[in-house]
Amino acid sequence: MTGYILKRLVSAIPVLLGISVIVFLIMAMIPGDPATAILGSYATPENVEKLNRDLGLDQGLVARYFIWLGNMLQGDFGRSFALNRPVLDEVLDRFGATLILAGTSFVLCSLLGIAAGVISAARQYGVADKAITFVVLLGISIPSFFLGMMMILVFAVQLRWFPVSGMWPIYGDRNLGVLLEHLAMPAFALSVVATGVIARLARSAMLEVLRQDFIRTARAKGVRERQVIWRHALRAAMVSIIPILGIQAGFVLSGAVYIEMVFQWPGVGRMLVDAILKRDILLVQGGVVFIAACYVIFNIMVDVAQALLDPRIKT
Amino acid sequence: MMAFFRLLARNRLALAGLVVIGIVVVLALITPLLPLADPDVTDTPNRFQPMFSAGALLGTDHLGRDLLSRLMWGTRLSLAMGFAAAVIAAVLGSAIGIIAGFYGGRTDNVIMRGVDMLMAFPYILLALAIVAALGPGLMNALIAVAAVNVPFFARNIRGITVGIAHKEFVDAARLAGMRNREIILAEVLPNVLPVIVIAMSTTVGWMILETAGLSFLGLGSQPPQADLGSMLGEARSALITNPHTSIVPGAMILVIVMGINLLGDGVRDALDPRLKSGALSRPMPATTVDRDGPAPAARTDSLLDIADLRTEFRVRNRVYKAVGGVDLHVEKGECLGIIGESGSGKSVTALSVMGLVASPPGVITGGAVHFDGQDLVGARYEVLRSLRGRRVAYIFQDPQATLHPLYKAGDQLIEAIRTHEDVSREAAHRRAISLLKSVRIPNAESRMESYPYEMSGGMRQRVGIAMALANDPDVIIADEPTTALDVTVQAQILSVLSDLRRERGLAIIFITHDFGVVGQLCDRVAVMYAGRIVEEGPTAAVLRSPQHPYTSRLIDCVPTLGGGQRRLAAIPGLPPVVDRLPHGCAFADRCDKAQAECRAGSIALAPTEPARKVRCLFPEVAKERSA
Amino acid sequence: MSEALRLTGLSKSFPVGKRLFGPPRAMVHAVHPLDLDVRTGETLGIVGESGCGKSTLAKMLVGLLPPSTGQIEIEGETLDNADPAIFGKRIQYVFQDPNSSLNPRKTIRQIMEVPLRKLHGLDRAARAARIQEIFAAVNLREEFLDRYPHEFSGGQAQRIGIARALAAQARILILDEPVSALDVSVQAQVLNLLADLKTEFGLTYLFISHDLAVVEAVSDRIAVLYFGSIVEVGSAREIFANPRHPYTALLAQSAPEVGRPIAAPENAETELPDPLSPPVGCAFHERCAFATDRCRAEKPVLTADGADRALACFNPLPGPVSR
């Protein structure tokens, strides 16, 4: 197993390099003088010249890439001109909040989605199946930002169950209870779409597995139906559900951008949107690379989980 | 094409989706012709008019613009963006996927590594990076959304293409002189197209959400032009004071996307050939029983007595009578062979005994199965379950598919033991090892830890047999247990089964299409044709002097080793399809002795000699055959 | 008698554990270098169990797989560029699974026209006439031409597959398990049709199957394949009646036969060797009752025994006298 993990970690290196190349190339598409684009049109000539030196902007594309990569490897993601602080500091400050939000949503959608999918498949065409199918359809059709806004209207403004927005109250203590109160609505709104997608795929994966011969074998052995569903079928279905979880984690992370906007959540998503609108290029570049790298690491964990589940992979 | 629309129309939800989307699209198309206010003219004094106010049916927004008009124009824009993004992504992604999948090898490797890199981004990061580089704007958002979805199409279509590129018809096209480009266009593409359409119809909704999302963030359409997303984004600051400005565009997105998703699911179902045959249903724990009339009494006091068993498959409006009234019985320690071609109902008969026929579409519609005096047809599930594996055990055909791929062989055996008996894991483990030894598996202890994929076909089938023996059953039903195996391995497995039977006094129902196997293993044989038994009797007698013309001709047309090069006595025609069984004898159309009365009415399975029965009006005259 | 096909030193190995760059981790030898002649007008049967390399061999013969070593001579000419379109005019292939060998989205006419157009460049009228002729030969009604493959039973679909092979006007047909997907009562129909076509068009067959009795019934000569090598070749009449290679004998004894009591034909509970770690010496030695030290060290080569038989064994069973 350790061998497999090491192998996956090593194989992540070209992926990370590829990501950096893609981001770099996209950013190289920016029209006009890069230094002006990065510093804005009010930059002083001295600052432009300094930046040109630091980032090698007066050199060729390849050289620029390696200077940029080298800087990043030393932990230097550049400096945000709008915030006037190092990009990495800003990203790290914000990343915690995103992690709390997206992590909670991911756990929520995985558990709910799989459970709903299994129940739906086990009771195919039954009342539970139809109800779940309908709710799921509603879930994948509603834009998460609209859902978030409606939840604010109903649960925060009308019913006053939860605070309208933010991660912490402006005054008062910062403890777990307060956090959960603030987290509940955004985490739920964020998880809805992914729950729906996972539930649908889990349902079809379960239906696929339940038709397999080995399920008939289990039944012929006299295994109890509950065991057939939750042990034999789900175990086999997980092989195709786990990669979906990996992909959905990316969607949750993506959806976090909208939810952070709606609920004023102080995460990286909001930071990125603000940065784009302010044309704070280095912050966008650094933020994107950082989050993508984290996602690559997460996907390695998904692969390891898959290998633990399916003995056929471990070679 | 017509069939496609019929299938689509049958799905009421899809139809509803189609109607909704149809209306929305038509409205969007005729928007320029409608008498609407200019969507972009601001009228600040009249800002935030409520719904149903004069001159503004849906009210006005924060700049006093007419919401209805903005909604219609916004819908138009959102739909166009979504469809455009879907088409661009589908065309590019599918092209990449087909090329990678068809050529394989290094081309595939390089392309798919690139696709993997793109998919290593949470999709919005890529979209945000593209928009950041190109600058906010409608076209740039469109490019970003399309680009982000290309890898999804590429990977999906590549998988399908790989499957098709390895089909034999592609090889056949090569041999017929076609070049790669022609094969891609003429052989591969028509088979991939339905999948592309499915992928598109299920992602259009998603694309609309994504473009709306970018506009919501202010990165898509720029003021004063608005799509639904930017309308919602602009309304957000007035959410609490004037919620209707948010609800109107939001609800529209919901309606559109939901309609598209309903329609997309309908398209997927209509294009998926498996759904037509009902093959996407999940089999229930036990076969459905829908017995009209009382259960027949047992005809013998045998250990297992099947009386007038009828099992059907109900697929849409067709009824396939797979088993049409079968009487059989097995004594303690006896080996009964059931022989027949595919579709003769032999496996369905065997699976009906313990309610293991996949249901839906299978239904037991009549008859009784008495085991030890108790009728199992329509018995409570718990009764069936406690007998399954304990008193009546099964061995199935394909040992590759019948063992759980993710559990160790030992664990599957232990489960079989502990399902019916409350013993410790250690005791079960010991017993499992002795079971593996009893089917002559070398190194039984280490085999306990093996996964099925680590074993050969013969070894897996031995595990299957060991599992059937786990609870010392009275009857083993073996459904073509050696058909998937090589002949030398088949001989090994048959010898194991034959020895076990003698040692343990097992009754075996052995289902096969091979006369040689029946001749070597079985005491008695029943020959099935089109869902019924046509002949039954002691194996040696039936094989030596078959009485039903079908049995006789079937024996003749199968070559046996040692006969030398020769012409075979073929049976003309095909077996009947069991949803359109002829009146009278089902074999009449292929029989050279058939008379008018053979087709007149049903023919009984009548005794001819002691212990022999035949369903024929003109049985073969006893002639000695060279066995 | 002339040779329709002559294979010299033909072999195929597949890489396993491919890497993006650099050599693969290991090679699996699906077919070991072999020599084989197929005489014009004969039916040569090839039998072997799964994994013995018979399908790989067949695919090489029609150019669907490039051989790793050796050459293929068809009707006296060497075709060393693996181009199925050039092979196609001389040698054709009938596939095992009739349903997967017909494109589900093309009509039978579209399928039948491809070889006529691509290999022979016939115009529309000539194509129609030719299809009519072929359909008559394989007993198919012309109204089938405008239907799609899923409307046919296995036996009919296999006839269509045979018709397509005939359309290329090749004189050699590779029949790769042509009846094993069919029901027994339909098997005989197709086998008889193949026999009729052979006389009518003067064809040469290479008939590949795992079913000994079927191969025996259709072949003039039979080659027995084990683990990628030919272990015995002889006349169909003799080879199973008087096997000389212990593996051929094991095959013959394993075939279920009415009246013969069941007994394990070999004592060892063994199966095929692992292709990733092939045994040294004779591939069969682990299952062979007559194996000696020599068998475990040295690989026997196929040698003619003087009579109409060739075999690869150091300790063959005695000739016909023993039975």
Residues B516 and B603 in one domain: no
Domain end position, chosen among B210, B240, B275: B275
Q: C136: Cβ–Cβ under 8 A, 6 or more apart, which residues? A: none
Domain assignment present for residue B46? The answer is: no
pTM of the model: 0.88
Domain assignment present for residue C145? The answer is: no
- The rounded distance, in Å, linking the Cα atoms of A291 and A269 is 10
Identity of the residue in B186, B191, B486 whose CB atom sits nearest the CB atom of C104: B191
Distance from CA of C250 to the nearest CA of B (A): 7
Residue C80 has a pLDDT of 65
Domain edges within chain A? 88-279
- The rounded distance, in Å, linking the Cα atoms of B97 and B164 is 12
- The residue type found at B400 is Q
Q: Residue B107 belongs to a domain with what CATH number?
A: 1.10.3720.10
C289-317 pLDDT, tens digit each: 888 999 999 999 999 887 789 999 999 98
Show the domain range for C302: 3-18+26-104+166-311
Q: Which chain C residue's Cα is nearest to B441?
A: C269
- The rounded distance, in Å, linking the Cα atoms of A169 and A134 is 37
Residues in B closer than 8 angstroms to A216, CB to CB, are 283, 356, 358, 396, 402
**DSSP 3-state of C205:** strand
Give the count of domains, chain B: 3
C76 band by pLDDT with thresholds 50, 70 and 90: confident
Candidates C2, C1, C89, C33; CA nearest to C312 is: C33
Q: Which two tokens stand for residue C6?
A: 């002559």
Domain end position, chosen among B478, B502, B525: B525
Q: C218: Cβ–Cβ under 8 A, 6 or more apart, which residues? A: B565, C43, C45, C191, C194, C195, C205, C207
C126 band by pLDDT with thresholds 50, 70 and 90: very high
Domain assignment present for residue B60? The answer is: no
Interface of A with B in 146-205 (CB under 8 A): 146, 149-150, 152-153, 157, 164
- The rounded distance, in Å, linking the Cα atoms of B342 and B354 is 21
- The residue type found at A187 is A
Domain assignment present for residue C111? The answer is: no
- CB neighbours of residue B104 within 10 Å: 14
- The rounded distance, in Å, linking the Cα atoms of B564 and B576 is 32
Residue B421 has a pLDDT of 92
Residue C323 has a pLDDT of 39
C322 band by pLDDT with thresholds 50, 70 and 90: very low
- The rounded distance, in Å, linking the Cα atoms of A213 and A238 is 17
Give yes or no for A277 touching B (CB within 8 A).
Answer: yes
Domain end position, chosen among B525, B542, B561: B525
Q: Residue C179 belongs to a domain with what CATH number?
A: 3.40.50.300
> Does the pLDDT at position C267 exceed 80?
no
Residues in B closer than 8 angstroms to C264, CB to CB, are 491-492, 495-496
Residues B390 and B485 in one domain: yes
Give the helix/strand (H/E) hosting B156.
helix B138-165
What is residue C51's DSSP assignment?
A: T
Q: Which chain B residue's Cα is nearest to A248?
A: B122
Residue C268 has a pLDDT of 57
E-strand stretches of B351-435: 362-371, 374-375, 392-395
Identity of the residue in B133, B261, B394 whose CB atom sits nearest the CB atom of A140: B261
- The residue type found at B198 is I
Contact A84, A293 (CB under 8 A): no
Contact A201, A251 (CB under 8 A): no
Q: What is the mean pLDDT of chain C?
A: 87
- The rounded distance, in Å, linking the Cα atoms of C87 and C64 is 9
Contacts 24+ apart (CB under 8 A), A266-270: A266/A94, A266/A97, A266/A166, A266/A167, A267/A94, A267/A95, A267/A97, A267/A98, A267/A101, A268/A91, A268/A94, A268/A95, A268/A97, A268/A98, A269/A98, A269/B124, A270/A94
Identity of the residue in B172, B486, B570 whose CB atom sits nearest the CB atom of C192: B570
Identity of the residue in C213, C260, C271 whose CB atom sits nearest the CB atom of B520: C260
Q: Which two tokens stand for residue C106?
A: 């093309």
Inter-chain contacts counted by CB atoms under 8 A, chains A and B: 225
Instruction: Kindly give the confidence (pLDDT) of every residue in chain A, 315 residues in length, as a single tens digit, with 9 standing for 90 and above.
Output: 788 888 888 888 888 999 899 888 888 877 767 677 777 667 777 777 777 777 777 777 888 888 889 988 888 888 887 788 899 999 999 999 999 999 999 999 999 999 999 999 998 888 999 999 999 999 999 999 999 999 999 998 889 899 888 888 877 788 888 889 899 999 999 999 999 999 999 999 999 999 899 999 999 999 999 999 999 999 999 999 999 999 899 999 999 999 999 999 999 999 998 888 888 888 888 899 999 999 998 999 998 999 888 888 765
B interface mutation test: which of C262, C270, C276 has the most B CBs within 10 A?
Answer: C262
**DSSP 3-state of B329:** strand
Show the domain range for B376: 324-525
By percentage, how much of chain C surpasses pLDDT 90? 53
Domain assignment present for residue C319? The answer is: no
Residue A226 has a pLDDT of 93
Domain assignment present for residue C150? The answer is: no
Average pLDDT by consecutive 10-residue portion of chain B (627 residues)? Answer: 72 87 93 85 82 79 86 92 93 96 90 88 87 87 92 92 92 91 93 90 88 91 88 88 90 93 86 61 89 85 92 87 93 94 91 91 92 90 94 89 92 95 94 93 90 90 94 94 88 90 92 91 94 94 93 89 83 85 89 89 90 91 55
Contact B112, B98 (CB under 8 A): no
Residues B508 and B537 in one domain: no
Contact B286, B355 (CB under 8 A): yes
C interface mutation test: which of B534, B561, B589 has the most C CBs within 10 A?
Answer: B561
Which is the CATH superfamily of the domain at A88-279?
A: MetI-like (1.10.3720.10)
Residue C27 has a pLDDT of 83
- CB neighbours of residue C264 within 10 Å: 18
B326-343 pLDDT, tens digit each: 999 999 999 999 999 888
Q: Which two tokens stand for residue B10?
A: 């049958």
